[in-house]
Amino acid sequence: MTKKSLLNPLKLRTIRNLNTMVENKKSYTYNNCELDIYETHTAVQNISLKFDDFAFIGMIRGKKDLRIANKTEKFEYLPGESLIMLPGEEMIIDFPEADTTPSQCIALSIDSNFIKSTVDYLNGNFPKIDTASEWKFSDECFYLFNSPSLSSATNNILRIAVENNSAKDFMTDLALKELLIRIMQTQARKFFEMNYLHYKDVNRFAAIIAYIKNNIREKISVDALAKQAYMSKSNFFRAFKQEFGISPNHFILQERIVKAKSLLQNQLPVCEAAYQAGFSDANYFIKAFKEVEGITPKHFQRDVLLKKG
């Protein structure tokens, strides 16, 4: 699992300025969305929350334990993670650490007609190169680890919200469109990573992910991937980036890091883990690992041992 990209922290409100210590809400309303910033400053359990519209939820700080009624068991919800909530879905939330570490998250409720018109416009004017794919939201991939592009688009919404600008509604609509694209790209990547074995014989992106995973120890070029997809190199590169929001080379690097982490967890030496994950240079592996994970492979391995102990 690659490092999650965090949202920019927002200043917490002082206790005396809160209407309630539990899920205190500050709202910003625009033509096609409402941005709510929630803070909780006390430990509490079984708080229910629903949204009338499609909602994008982003965790900024602290920790929640939550479940989505009739959909999931309880799980930890942490900074760097986001949720897609459908209209009327209910979240049941615990705040186990809010007494000492207040939690803060955003909820962006987006008008369904705005979403539909954006998706229809993309499919009509910017169709995906792979005719088997189209712009769409996935009900299955509702729990996301933020990519840098998804965090950047979300931070842009937050920046516009706190600005004093007469064109705020217009700017918000533009930022919303980018956010919707980044959500769909993140969902598409997660969907194919979860289901590539099932779809590898009928979908070229699933087949490409299967090829990368099966050949992770080997040198993998974009030329080779393009041939596997029966596309020119330039068309393949654009199609891949449009589908997933990242380049093929970036995807391969992240897959190598995922493989290396698995090997390091089994106490393989750093150089051996690098080799088996497809890195020909151990020094480059250490540098790339630190850029993605924020720590060195040795530090990661030590942390794993400490948690097991």
pLDDT string in tens for the chain (309-residue length): 456 788 888 887 766 655 666 778 899 999 999 999 999 999 999 999 999 999 999 999 999 999 999 899 999 999 999 999 999 999 999 999 999 999 999 999 999 999 999 999 999 999 988 777 899 998 889 999 998 899 999 999 999 988 888 899 999 999 999 999 999 999 999 999 999 999 899 889 999 999 999 999 999 999 999 999 999 999 999 999 999 999 999 999 999 999 999 999 988 999 999 999 999 999 999 999 998 888 999 999 988 777 775
Q: What superfamily in CATH does domain 15-191 come from? A: Regulatory protein AraC (2.60.120.280)
Paired residues of 75 in beta bridges: 66
**Do 15-191 and 200-309 share a fold?**
no
Q: What is the spatial distance between Cα 95 and Cα 107, in angstroms, rounded to a whole number?
A: 17
The backbone region for 63, taken as left when phi is positive above 0, alpha when psi lies in -120 to 50, beta otherwise, is: beta
Q: What is the spatial distance between Cα 237 and Cα 97, in angstroms, rounded to a whole number?
A: 44
Residue spans per domain, the chain: 15-191, 200-309
Model pTM? 0.88
Q: What is the 3-state secondary structure (H, E, C) of 193-240?
A: HHHHHHHCCCCHHHHHHHHHHHCCCCCCCHHHHHHHCCCCHHHHHHHH
Is 200-309 in CATH node 1.10.10.60? yes
Task: Give the residue among 30, 199, 205 at the shortest CA–CA distance from 129.
Answer: 205
